Amino acid sequence: MAEAHQAVGFRTSLTSDGAEVELSAPVLQEIYLSGLRSWKRHLSRFWNDFLTGVFPASPLSWLFLFSAIQLAWFLQLDPSLGLMEKIKELLPDWGGQHHGLRGVLAAALFASCLWGTLIFTLHVALRLLLSYHGWLLEPHGAMSSPTKTWLALVRIFSGRHPMLFSYQRSLPRQPVPSVQDTVRKYLESVRPVLSDEDFDWTAVLAQEFLRLQASLLQWYLRLKSWWASNYVSDWWEEFVYLRSRNPLMVNSNYYMMDFLYVTPTPLQAARAGNAVHALLLYRHRLNRQEIPPTLLMGMRPLCSAQYEKIFNTTRIPGVQKDYIRHLHDSQHVAVFHRGRFFRVGTHSRNSLLSPRALEQQFQRILEDPSPACPHEEHLAALTAAPRGTWAQVRRSLKTQAAEALEAVEGAAFFVSLDAEPAGLTREDPAASLDAYAHALLAGRGHDRWFDKSFTLIVFSNGKLGLSVEHSWADCPISGHMWEFTLATECFQLGYSTDGHCKGHPDPTLPRPQRLQWDLPDQIHSSISLALRGAKILSENVDCHVFPFSLFGKSFIRRCHLSSDSFIQIALQLAHFRDRGQFCLTYESAMTRLFLEGRTETVRSCTREACNFVRAMEDKEKTDPQCLALFRVAVDKHQALLKAAMSGQGVDRHLFALYVVSRFLHLQSPFLTQVHSEQWQLSTSQIPVQQMHLFDVHNYPDYVSSGGGFGPADDHGYGVSYIFMGDDMITFHISSKKSSTKTDSHRLGQHIEDALLDVASLFQAGQHFKRRFRGSGKEDSRHRCGFLSRQTGASKTSMTSTYF
C-alpha cells in the first residue's frame, strides 16, 4: 500500500541531524533495546491472557486434568509414579486431621506441573510444525504426502477452537536470508530496468559490499533475530513510518470504500449509528479474542499482533520521530462536523449504546446550529502538516487546550460527518467515483484527524468510507475490520423501513459534548500554513477508480493461473504502453507467517515479464508464443511471491542491513544506491478475507469495492485492486497532477486494454474482446460497467438506495 512511498523516503529520515544523534548509540545497545521491547510485549500479552483465562490454556482443561488425577487416586492408582507422595512429604504438616488436604494440594500441584509441561510441549511442537514451508512452494492444486502429514499434525496440535492470539506463542521467527542470495536476487531484479553500463557498475558495488561489509552486518542481524521477536519489523515501523517527517495525508494514509452500488440508508445519522455500533462490536470481540485467527489457505495461521492497536490508538507527532500511543480502553468517539468537534459517549452504565441511541446522538450534532470558533474549523489541517511542524504546534496546543486534545487523541476512533454527498451517481458515474476516492484519501485537508488509527467518514447521503493511518498495521488488518463492519451494520443490525436504525431513541441521554479549543494567537498562522499546504497536496492528487466487469477471478481460475500474478503481469504491459519503458515495481506481500511479521516487497518487473511485454508489442509474435511467455512470467512472479512470504525476499533484508550500517557508521555505496531507488509503480491487492459474511449470489452488489493509496513517486502511479466476487475487478489508481508523465485515467485505459489482450491469448477469453469491441461503447462508462449494474436492483429485497 502506501508503505512504498514511506520506504523511498526513509533514507532521508536517517540523514537529518536529529536522527544522526539517535543512531550514534552502539548497535548492540539498539539490538538489546529491540529485544527488551519484544519481551515487554510478550509479558503484557501473557498477563492479559492470564487475566482473561486463556493462558496458558483454558482453566477447564486444568480442571479436567485435576479431576482425572483425583479419580485415579480414588481408585488407588498413582498416575504420578510416586511424585505426589514426595510432594506431600514436602508440604507442611498441619496435623493428622489435614492429611486429606495435603493429598488434594499435592494432586493440584502435580496437575499444574503436568498441565504446564504438556502445554509447553504442544507449543514447541506446533512451532516446529509451523516452521515448515514446503506446502507454500508446491504447485497450486497439488499436495504432497509430507504436506498432507504436516497438515494433519497441525490440526491435531492446534486444538479445536483457537482464539485470536492462540498461535502467537507458537509462530516461528522470521529468518534472516543468506546475504549472498539476497544480493543475487537484487541484481536479478534490477537487470530489466538498468542499462548494461549501469548494471555492470551496480554488480561491482555489490561484489565490493559482499567482500568488505556484508559478513559483519549480517552477524548483527542474526544476533537480533535470536534476541528479538522479529529482526526487521520494529525498525521498519520506526524508520519507515515514525521517523518520516512527511505529511501523513496522501503520503502514508490509505482509504477503504463502501459498497459500490448500494447505500443501505440515505440517512447520515442512521448510517453513522449502525457503523459505529458495528465497529465497537468488533472491538468487543477483539478484546475477548473471539475473532478467529486468520488461516492462510485454511490451514496456516498468520500473526495477529497488529490487531492489538486497531482501536484507542493515535500517532503522536515528535520533532525527530513520532510515537504510537495506545490506550487500554476508551468509551467515546471524537466527531467532526462543519468545523466543530464533539465528544460522543459510546457506553451507558458500562453497556454499549444501541445503534438507535447512537443515531440520536449523531442527529443532535447534525442539527446543532452553533458555529465553529475562529480557526477551529481548520484545526485538523495540522495533522496533515509536516510532522516536525505539527509536533511543535502541538506543544502549545497541549498547554492551552489539553482537555479537548485529549478527547480527540484518547477516542476509540475519529468520526467525520461530511456535509457533502459522495459515491456513484447516475449522471456522471466515472467522475463521481473518482471524487469519492479523493474525498476518502485527502478530503478537504482539514476534516480528518490523520493521527488517529482510522477515521470513519460518513457522507451526507449515507455513504461510508475509511481513512487509515499506516504505521500501526497493514491493510489486511483494517480490511478485516471493515468487512465485519459492512456486513454487520447492513445484514445483522439492519434498518427499519423508514431508513432509521432499529430500536428506540433514548431521550435521557445527555447531549454530545462540544469540545472547546482555546487556541493561542501564535497557532493561528500555523493553522493557515498547514491548511495551505494540505490543499496543495490534496489538489495535486489524481484519483481514478473503475470496476472492470468483463471477467474476474472465475475466468482466471479456469485458466489455471494465479489471479494476483495474472493482474501483475497485465499491469507490466499496461505501464509499458503508458510510459514506453519498464520500471521498478513494488508489490506488497505479507510476512505474517512469522511472529510480528509485516510486509515484504515483490519486485514484479522481472526479466520474464519484460520478455512477455516485448512479445505482445511485437506484431510478428503469434498468440501461442505470447501465451507461453505469459505463463513463464506468471510462474516467475509466483516464485517471487512465495519467497517473499516465506521470509526470503530482498528488500526487508537490505533495509535491515542498511540500518545496521548506519548504526556502525559504515559507508556502503551499494546499500546507499539500493535505497535511493524510486518505485514508479507501486501496487497492492486488497484481500477479501471473510466471504462467508456476504451472500454474493443473492446480493451481488453488497461487497466492498476495496480502497487505494497515493503514488510512491512524484512521477509514478499507485495501483490497488480487489476481486469483487467472481466476475469483477475494481482498480484504484493514483498519480500526481503536477507530473507531465502520468495520467491516472490514461493508465486505467491501458490496464483495461492489457487485461483484454492477455485474456484473448486464451481460447476461453477471446470472446471478451469481441464483446467489448463489438459493443461500440469503448468509453469509460462502458469500461467501468457502471450502468450495467442498475438492473441488479431487482435482486435485492432489502431497503436500499442505488447510486
- For residue 619, the tally of other CB atoms under 10 A from its CB is 5
Give the three cell numbers for residue 286.
477483539
Which residues are within 8 A (CB) of 494 and not within 5 positions of it... i.e. 6 or more apart? Answer: 264, 274, 502, 798
> What is the SS3 assignment for 567?
helix
Reported as half-sphere exposure (CB side, CA atoms, 13 A), residue 541 has a value of 32
> What is the SS3 assignment for 84?
helix
Amino acid, res. 242: L
The neighbouring-strand residues paired with 548 are 729
- For residue 366, the tally of other CB atoms under 10 A from its CB is 15
- DSSP H or E segment with residue 219: helix 214-227
- Give backbone dihedrals phi and psi of 550, rounded to 5 degrees, phi first: -75, -30
The neighbouring-strand residues paired with 578 are none
- DSSP H or E segment with residue 631: helix 623-645
- Give backbone dihedrals phi and psi of 229, rounded to 5 degrees, phi first: -65, -35
Residue among 513, 477, 337, 481 nearest 419 (CA):
337
- Sign of the Cα pseudo-torsion (768, 773, 774, 775, in order): positive
Catalytic residue among 5, 378, 470, 653: 470
C-alpha–C-alpha distance, residues 721 and 723, integer Å: 7
Q: How far does the chain reach from its first CA to its final CA, in angstroms?
A: 27
- Kindly tell me the number of DSSP H helices and DSSP E strands found in the chain: 27, 22
Answer yes or no: are the C-beta atoms of 755 and 403 closer than 8 Å.
no
DSSP result, 505-565: --TTSPPPEEP-----HHHHHHHHHHHHHHHHHHHTEEEEEEEE-S--HHHHHHTT--HHH
Burial status of residue 14 (CB atoms within 10 A of its CB: 0-12, 13-18, 19 or more) = middle
Question: Helices in 263-386 by DSSP H: which ranges?
Answer: 268-287, 355-367
C-alpha–C-alpha distance, residues 657 and 232, integer Å: 10
Give the three cell numbers for residue 225.
533475530
Answer yes or no: are the C-beta atoms of 455 and 279 closer than 8 Å.
no
Residue among 687, 597, 772, 677 nearest 234 (CA):
597
Name the pairing type of β-strands 323-326 and 332-337: unpaired
Site of grid cell 465553529: 372
Answer yes or no: are the C-beta atoms of 800 and 262 closer than 8 Å.
yes
CA separation (Å) from 674 to 3, 7, 209, 378, 637? 17, 11, 12, 40, 21
- Give backbone dihedrals phi and psi of 678, rounded to 5 degrees, phi first: -110, 135
- For residue 21, the tally of other CB atoms under 10 A from its CB is 10
Give the three cell numbers for residue 326.
495506545
Q: Is residue 470 flagged as an active site residue?
A: yes
C-alpha 471, offset from chain centre: 9
C-alpha–C-alpha distance, residues 545 and 707, integer Å: 9
Active site residues: 470
